[in-house]
Chains A and B, each alone.
Chain A
Amino acid sequence: MVYDGRDVSDQRPVQGRPSEDAELAARARDGDVGAFEELVTRYQAVAFRVAWLVVRDRGEAEDAVQDAFVKAYFALPRFRPGAPFRPWVLRIVANEARNRGRSARRREGLAVRAAAIGSGDAAPAPEAAALERADAEVLVAALDRLPERDRMVVAYRYLLEMSESETAEALDVAPGTVKSRLSRALVRLRTEVASAATVVEVESR
């Protein structure tokens, strides 16, 4: 890969700035590659996460993101002026990642960071922090077990904090489908969590 090795995970905004996006997309469509690079810089973090959620392999996700952005550039003539850029490009990213999913060498799981331990009265006791972490790990494990369709809609709405309309655009479905799919996914997730929690409970007796 031809990137410089920098971790840009924390670059913001993950949320879009629609008017600037539209201007950059228009310039890119007119051949300004620099403008497009700026769009890539803005959205590569969320794009990488989307790709990784699909393929669960960093290398494949990285290749998918790079190829997807190149394809998006050449597809700009088909991009509707004024439409939000972020969900449009995320749809291309997800498609590209899905096309690569089969060749992924391994599947990495979601991981949870330890909660930040603050100072003062509000800081949770170590036992409470450990419990919170265990709960979160049960939740991500349950999320990992969901079928891709369910996992992606939950991930888009909650983990990537995308709006319903953005999720619909990124998944290329109607907003009503996002609602129904999310509702079903959450029912499954609640069942999975209860099931996993039961195992933990029984094992700890």
Chain B
Amino acid sequence: MSDRMRPPTEEQMDAALAELAGRVDWPRTPDVATAVGTTIRAFEGSPSMVAPRLSLPSRRRTLLVIAAALLALAGAALAARVVIELGAVAVEVLPGRPTALPTNVATSADLGREVSLDDAAAIAGFPAALPAALGPPDRTWVDDAQVGVAPDQVVRRIVNAWPATADVPVLPGTEAGAVLMQFEGEWEVASKELFAETNRYGEAIVEGRPAFWTTGEHELVLFAGDELIRLLVTGNVLIWQDAGFTFRLETTLGRHEAVRIAESVTPAIDVG
């Protein structure tokens, strides 16, 4: 015989929840009104003041140049976390393996508003930088991330995707073969979490400048509007900076091929 009890009826549950409303022992509410007013006045009184950054997980990050960070990663025991900042993207490397990863890969809804290339340029205020090695993209999205409290403190992003081909195999879980994200400026609007036991990472050189390379499934946290989106990355990723932009290319290709694609990107307009 089963020991399982019959669930309460809808009416019983409704009544119990209504009763519960008056009995929850909420934590005490602090009075933040004064602090909010003080902060607003400080911002309004100092137009040049930089707005507080959004609360990225790497808020307490340490700024390290890539070479130094990679040197640290090469150490035998990776006991502490290492954070690498590369323009708009922060990479956090943690010891061990992830306890959980998001299950959702990027969908078109996660990438912003789907538009034409021309519209993307008009909306973002800069043209998409395109790798000649891949030809024209078949899908384009534009989005922004609110990086400060003022309405105009946004970072715009253009994402282009190319269909899978024999030379650029499909990214697992997607229909694309390559996805290139182009972030404007230096604000940190994306972060990724790598784990020493499950990811490989290293330095790459794109047009003579240090870039970051990683393989293995990991989590990408992306700012969209004022929200965070957590995505599972299934491909290999190359991150580099050029002309005031940060680029993130995801493919299933190896480092050499990814760098070749990166180096075929037509020069972007300098926004720096």
Do the beta carbons of A49 and B32 come within 8 Å of each other? no
The 8 A CB mask of A167-194 against B (1 = contact, 0 = none) is: 0000000000000000000100111011
Q: How large is the interface on A (under 10, 10 to 19, 20 to 34, 35 or more residues)?
A: 35 or more
- Chain B at the A interface: mostly helix, strand, loop or mixed? mixed
Q: Out of B19, B24, B150, which one reaches A111, CB within 8 Å? A: B24
Identify the closest chain B residue to A31 (Cβ).
Answer: B44
Q: Out of A100, A112, A198, which one reaches B20, CB within 8 Å? A: A112
Identify the closest chain B residue to A6 (Cβ).
Answer: B31
Contact of B226 with A by CB under 8 A = yes
The residue in B16, B27, B38, B226 that gathers the most chain A C-beta atoms within 10 A of its C-beta is B27
Identify the closest chain B residue to A71 (Cβ).
Answer: B149
Contact of B1 with A by CB under 8 A = no
Contact of B49 with A by CB under 8 A = no
Do the beta carbons of B21 and A159 come within 8 Å of each other? yes
Q: Out of A41, A77, A103, A135, which one reaches B16, CB within 8 Å? A: A135
Do the beta carbons of B52 and A74 come within 8 Å of each other? no
Residues of A contacting B25 with CB < 8 Å? 110-113
Q: Out of A31, A70, A110, A194, which one reaches B4, CB within 8 Å? A: A194
Residues of A contacting B32 with CB < 8 Å? 1, 3, 40, 44, 48, 62, 65-66, 69
Do the beta carbons of A71 and B226 come within 8 Å of each other? yes
Known: A48-B29, A77-B151, A98-B227. A161 touches B21 (CB 8 A): yes
Q: Which 7 A-B pairs have the closest CB atoms?
A: A2-B35, A190-B7, A7-B28, A194-B7, A158-B17, A111-B25, A40-B33
Residues of A contacting B18 with CB < 8 Å? 158
Known: A74-B150, A99-B228, A158-B21. A3 touches B34 (CB 8 A): yes
Contact of B57 with A by CB under 8 A = yes
Known: A2-B35, A113-B23, A193-B7. A8 touches B30 (CB 8 A): yes
Q: Out of B19, B33, B44, which one reaches A44, CB within 8 Å? A: B33
Interface set, chain B 1-56, CB cutoff 8 A to A: 3-8, 10, 13-14, 16-21, 23-41, 43-44, 52, 54-55
Contact of A37 with B by CB under 8 A = yes
Do the beta carbons of A3 and B228 come within 8 Å of each other? no
Do the beta carbons of B34 and A2 come within 8 Å of each other? yes
Contact of B59 with A by CB under 8 A = yes
Residues of B contacting A67 with CB < 8 Å? 52, 55, 149
5 contacts between A and B (CB under 8 A): A2-B35, A36-B40, A73-B36, A99-B228, A103-B57
- Total chain B interface residues with beta-carbon distance under 8 A: 48
Do the beta carbons of B6 and A194 come within 8 Å of each other? yes
Interface set, chain A 1-52, CB cutoff 8 A to B: 1-9, 11, 31, 33-34, 36-38, 40-41, 44-45, 48-49, 52
Do the beta carbons of B29 and A44 come within 8 Å of each other? yes
Do the beta carbons of B151 and A1 come within 8 Å of each other? no
Known: A67-B55, A78-B151. A201 touches B5 (CB 8 A): yes
Q: Which residues of B contact A (CB under 8 A)?
A: 3-8, 10, 13-14, 16-21, 23-41, 43-44, 52, 54-55, 57, 59, 146, 149-151, 226-228
Do the beta carbons of B23 and A37 come within 8 Å of each other? no
Residues of A contacting B150 with CB < 8 Å? 74
Residues of B contacting A150 with CB < 8 Å? none
Residues of A contacting B151 with CB < 8 Å? 74-75, 77-78
Known: A49-B29, A96-B226, A193-B7. A70 touches B24 (CB 8 A): no
Known: A189-B13, A190-B8. A102 touches B57 (CB 8 A): yes
Apart from A3-B31, A186-B10, A202-B3, 9 more pairs, CB < 8 Å: A3-B35, A9-B26, A48-B27, A70-B149, A71-B146, A113-B23, A139-B20, A191-B7, A197-B5
The residue in B26, B227, B228 that gathers the most chain A C-beta atoms within 10 A of its C-beta is B26
